[in-house]
Every structure is written in C-alpha cells, then in structure tokens.
Structure 1
Amino acid sequence: MTEHAHSHGHSHSHAHGVSPDADRRWLRAALILLTAYMAVEVVIGVVAQSLALISDAAHMLTDAVSIVLALIAMRLAARPARGGFTYGLKRAEILSAQANGITLLLLSVWLAYEAVERLISPPKVTGGLVLITALAGIVVNLICTWLLSKANRSSLNVEGAYQHILTDLFGFVATAVAGLVVLTTGFERADAIASLVVVALMLRAGTGLVRESGRIFMEAAPAGIDPDALGDHLAAADEVVEVHDLHIWLITSGQPALSAHILVAPGGDCHKVRRSLQELLSGEYGITHATLQVDHVGEQGAPDELLTLSPRPGPGPEQRAGHCEDAHGPVHRPGPHRH
C-alpha cells in the first residue's frame, strides 16, 4: 500500500487518494464490527439450527481473517527495502490476497457438503430467528462494505477483503429470503439452498483472488497490457532498431515494472531515446518503474547485420550471434514485419 519513488535514470512518484494510515483505520473499524457481530451470529445459528446462518458466520470469520491479513501485509509492505529484499516486503500483500482466496475456496467445499446433507434430510429451522439475524447481518455488512470502499481498493489485498464482505452481503440477503420462506411456508430446505447460494458466491470470489494473485506470482504482465503490442510500440519509436528481452510484471498490485534491451541506430542519441521511451511508458501505459538498457547497434556485441538483414520472424542464429544469446521472448523491430 505504501509506494515509494524509485530512481532508474528518472524519477517518478505514485499518487493515491488514500493514505495507508487512513486505510488501516477503515479496515480496523470494519474488523471490530465484523468480529462482534460474528460472535452473536454463531450462537443464534446454533440455537436456530440454521446452516445458512452458520455458513454466513463462517464466511464472516474469513472476512475478519482477510482484514487481519490485510493489516499485517500493509505493515510489512510499508517497510523499506533492505538486505536481500530489494523490493521490500510489498508482495506480502499478494500472499495475503492468495491466502484469502484459498480460505474462501476451502470453506466453500465444506459448506457445500453440509448444505447437500441438509437438502437430503433437513433439520428443524427457526425461520423467524434466521430472518431477524440475517437482516441485522445485511445492515452490518453494508456498513463494513462502506468502510472498506473508503480504503484504497487498487490494492489486490484490500480488494480481497472487500470481495469477502461483499460476498457476505449477498449471502445474508439469500439467508434472509430463506428465513422468510421457512417462516411463511415451513419449507425447511430453503435454508440449505441459501447456503448453496453463499457457496457459489464464495467460489466466484475465491477463484478470482487466487487467479489474480497467481498471475502476479508467475510474473505475468498486468491485465490490460499486451506485451507484444507494447514491444511493437517501443520499436516504432524514432531511431530504435530493435527491442528485445522485454519483461513486464507487477511488484504488487498497482505497481507495474518493466525492463527491456533497446538497440538504437548508429549515431542516434541514446539518452534522448531512453527519455522518450520512458515518457511513452509512463504516459500511455502507466508504467513509471522502467529499466531500459539502451545500446547502439554494433556496441557490446550488437550485430551490425541488423541494419542490412530485413526483419523476419524467428531471427536466425547469425542475427543473434554474440548478442543476448539467452534473450527471452520475441524480438520487436520497426516496419511491417512486427513479431
């Protein structure tokens, strides 16, 4: 959540409307409210024999855990980079988001099993108690949703906690409907059906969080950025002959980083090219943390043949000889034959 300016031959800063301290305050308020209500709900769920209420309470427990993880991760992420952790502990937030997603998935499996058992042989459910408790839960969740919406949701971590509570809100609506149905018609299975609705919501939110955090751990490019198109865009810049070894990843949510090797035509102004490319990355792609190695063709083993050979897909070994032999990914060159 805390974001520091980095210097890579250029300076940049990250602006957020919400400070980490404010984030922590909103999260702590939601945590206190959730924990207090959850304790009450577990007792009522047991008394009323309502799985829908118990499943909501179990989900509320994951809400509370997700907020605790978010608070711990924020504190870790705020620590300055030192020692072997050159990015600091910013990715603690993504670990937290992944833990949130996994707990949602595990809990949904257990609740699905319980709900199916109750569909087969429904117990006696006190509908009125379920309805009143669920309606109170809706109010509590609306307040918590509002509290978390005030925090900085560009963090996958805070977004994870927000998704937990939003899922819970829909779950309480389903439980309130189930309580009403049991109360008015005596249809006991409505409680188990409401539990399955909560399970479906948990699966959806959990899968999304695990997928997003997994992408960051696998160093995938940020969603919405096509590395090939970006490479072609860089290669089309003035005086650029080739772009290769292009890597785009996320340090943590909202902090994209990029590195690339740029070859410039002989006589071209390396510094000017680097500045213009960094302005392009910052302005059009929101990438302000970019490390560009810029060389002239013919320098440091860069092959002169690049100027005489027409670009073609899958450059042969004679084009790559002595130059970045272990380069990763496609090579981007200006002209119609982009790849």
Structure 2
Amino acid sequence: MKEHRNGDGEVAHDHAHQHGVSADADRRWLALALGLIATFMVAEVIVGVLAGSLALITDAGHMLTDAASIVLALIAIRLAARPAKGSYTYGLKRAEILSAQANGITLLLMACYFVFEGVRRLINPHEVEGGLVFVTALVGIAVNVAATWCISRANRSSLNVEGAYQHILNDLFAFIATAIAGAVVWLTGFVEADAIAALVVAALMVKAGWGLVRASGRIFMEAAPQNMDPEIVGRQLTSIDGVAEVHDLHIWEITSGQAALSAHVLVDTRADCHGVRAQLEELLHTDHGIDHTTLQIDHTAVPAGDHCAEAHGPSYRSGRDGG
C-alpha cells in the first residue's frame, strides 16, 4: 500500500505492489528432490553401518537434515501463500524465514556433533570398508546432482528455498569428500581418511548454516536488504525536484526478495505533492525494485506538530537552494 497526503492534508492510499512467486512449481520440484533424498538416505544408513564408515553415516545425517529442510520449505510455502487476515497483516510470509533459520541452526548443531565424532575417530580409528564407502559415495553424488538440479529449478530468490538448496549442495560436496576418503581407505588402508572426510563435511555444514542464520537474522531484525544502502536511497529521494527533506526512512524485508519502504517526505510549498510522489515511486521501483511503499508527503509550510514531532533516524536534505 502507498500512502500520501493531498494538498488538504487528507491521507490517500493506493495499492500498487505485486508479488509473483510460482509456489506450485516450487512444491513440485521440492517434492521430487525430497523423494530422491529420502530413498537414498535409508540405503546409506544401512551401508554406513555395514561398512563402519563415519563419513557415510555423517552424510546420511546430513541427508536427514536435507529432507527435513525440504519438508520445512514445503510447509512454509503453503503457509506463506495464505492471505493476510486478522492480526497477521502481512499474512504468514515470514514462515519461510523461520524455515530458513531452522535449516541453518540444524546444520550448525549437526556440524558440532560430527566434529566431536570425527576427532574421536581420529584418536581411536575404526575399521572401514573403503570399497563399499567409495561405491556408495559415487551413487550419492549422482543422487545429489539430480536433487540439486531439481531445487535449482525452484525459486531460489526465496531464502526458504535457498536454505534447502544449500543443504543439498553441501551434501553433494560432502559425498565428493566421502568418495575420496573411501578410495584412500580402499587403496592405502589409511582409515583415518574417513574421519577427515567427516570433518570436511562438518566444516561445509558450518559455512552453509552460519550463512542461513545470518541472512534470516537480518530479516527478523528488519535490516535493509543486504545489497541496499539506505543512505544512498535517502540521497536519491532528495534528488527529485521539489523534495526538501526525507526522514523516518525505513527499509526492511517482509520476506526474502520482498523489500518494503516507508518515509516521511517534505516537499517545497509550491511543489505538486502528487507528482513528486509518483516520481519517488518510479525511482524506487526502477532503481531498487521496491514496490511496497508507504510515503507520507507534506509541504514544508505545514507546522511540524501536524506531521512529525521528532524525526527518527537520519534526515536527508536537498542540496538545492531553498530546499
């Protein structure tokens, strides 16, 4: 919704934001990836126990988080599609961000466990069937390539889908490390390679998990999108003819890829506030892709008490004479 004040001080609204996400397509691709992963995960647990391989069991544990992340993503997509009503004025769009954060935290917790187990195996090596590990890891690589491709077909601008994608992609790298470890154990008898591969997998999990927690945390803290500088946006808004000052500028993300902005804009006494508002909206849409805006427009002649007793945050003033 966009809001402005007309020349008589009355508030006017218009709706000009659009949200186009192919949720049905996302669900289909995610469900296909889930089927591939769940089927192979069961087989891998059995082989990992038979082969005595921590690397395979680590990979299976990672695949369990993969499956959980996809299930969470599917639930979040369904919740996010529900219309806004009642006290949830944005609907349940941030369910996607909760899902992404859960994915990240799960990766970090699993990484801690596998670091512990990996170090323990380095200190007390176990017998490992290298050939069995190697063959299973090769099959795992093929399964993960297929699952990664499926999820890459979904809308990865969603942090929720990106979280599931990062899970699967990291598992692909993990299987490559496990295949190398299996080959080393098989050809040289160096069983510690299995534990080293598990530690490599854990490191990948930490990297992906921290990235998801940090990105979702920014949205929950209502920070501006990572690639958007509010200072630059504020200066751009004051570059529009007729704009004297911009304050109370807030930029945040409702959910991943869906930025919103609100601001109090003071325009020169003789400026056309409707025309200025249209120019501001066009600038925000064209330069920053922001369509969900709330702009309060007032003339500089309006007494301060009638529009804003105190500005919150930095003010941006026009550099033009008389601005």
Same-fold call, TM > 0.5? Answer: yes
In the alignment, residue 226 of structure 2 is paired with which amino acid?
Answer: A
- Identity between Structure 1 and Structure 2 (%): 65
Q: Hey, what's the Cα distance between the residues in 2 that align with 1:87 and 1:201?
A: 34
Q: Hey, what's the Cα distance between the residues in 2 that align with 1:80 and 1:118?
A: 51
Please give the per-residue CA displacement for 1:158-185, whole angstroms capped at 9, x wherever unaligned. 0000000000000000000000000000
Q: Hey, what's the Cα distance between the residues in 2 that align with 1:96 and 1:191?
A: 31
In the alignment, residue 247 of structure 1 is paired with which amino acid?
Answer: H
Q: Hey, what's the Cα distance between the residues in 1 that align with 2:230 and 2:212?
A: 23
Higher strand share: 2
Query: Shift in Å at residue 266 of structure 1?
Result: 0.5
Aligned to 2:318: 334
Query: Contact between 1:236 and 1:333, CA under 8 Å: does it hold in 2?
Result: no
Q: Hey, what's the Cα distance between the residues in 1 that align with 2:25 and 2:307?
A: 50
In the alignment, residue 289 of structure 2 is paired with which amino acid?
Answer: G
In the alignment, residue 327 of structure 1 is paired with which amino acid?
Answer: A
Query: Shift in Å at residue 195 of structure 1?
Result: 0.4
Give 3-state SS (helix, strand or coil) of 1:287's partner.
Answer: coil
Q: Which residue of 12, 15, 18 corresponds with 1:13?
A: 18
Q: Which residue of 233, 245, 250 corresponds with 2:248?
A: 245
In the alignment, residue 225 of structure 1 is paired with which amino acid?
Answer: M
Aligned to 2:166: 163
Q: Which has the higher contact order (CA 8 A, sep 6+)?
A: 2
Aligned to 2:104: 101
Q: Hey, what's the Cα distance between the residues in 1 that align with 2:310 and 2:243?
A: 21
Pairing of 1:191-230 with structure 2 (within 5 A) = 191-230=194-233
The runs of 5 or more residues in structure 2 that have no matched partner are 3-12
Please give the per-residue CA displacement for 1:271-330, whole angstroms capped at 9, x wherever unaligned. 10001000000000100111100000121x23xxxxxxxxxxxxxxxxxx7762342210
Q: Hey, what's the Cα distance between the residues in 1 that align with 2:104 and 2:320?
A: 44
Q: Hey, what's the Cα distance between the residues in 1 that align with 2:71 and 2:17?
A: 31
Q: Which residue of 31, 36, 39 corresponds with 2:39?
A: 36
Aligned to 1:125: 128
Give 3-state SS (helix, strand or coil) of 2:296's partner.
Answer: strand
Query: Shift in Å at residue 15 of structure 1?
Result: 4.3
Aligned to 1:65: 68
> Is 1:134 aligned to residue 118 of structure 2?
no
> Is 1:25 aligned to residue 28 of structure 2?
yes
Q: Hey, what's the Cα distance between the residues in 2 that align with 1:192 and 1:230?
A: 50
Query: Shift in Å at residue 336 of structure 1?
Result: 8.2
Q: Which residue of 74, 89, 109 corresponds with 2:77?
A: 74
Q: TM-score, normalised by structure 1?
A: 0.89
Query: Contact between 1:125 and 1:188, CA under 8 Å: does it hold in 2?
Result: yes
Query: Contact between 1:219 and 1:250, CA under 8 Å: does it hold in 2?
Result: yes
The runs of 5 or more residues in structure 1 that have no matched partner are 1-5, 303-320
Aligned to 2:235: 232
Give 3-state SS (helix, strand or coil) of 1:219's partner.
Answer: coil
CA gap of 1:13–1:185, structure 2 versus 1, over 3 A, is: same
Please give the per-residue CA displacement for 1:51-83, whole angstroms capped at 9, x wherever unaligned. 000000000000000000000000000000000
Aligned to 2:7: none
CA gap of 1:326–1:226, structure 2 versus 1, over 3 A, is: same
Q: Which residue of 70, 86, 91 corresponds with 2:89?
A: 86
Across the aligned residues of Structure 1 and Structure 2, the Cα RMSD in angstroms comes to 1.4
Q: Hey, what's the Cα distance between the residues in 2 that align with 1:230 and 1:336?
A: 17
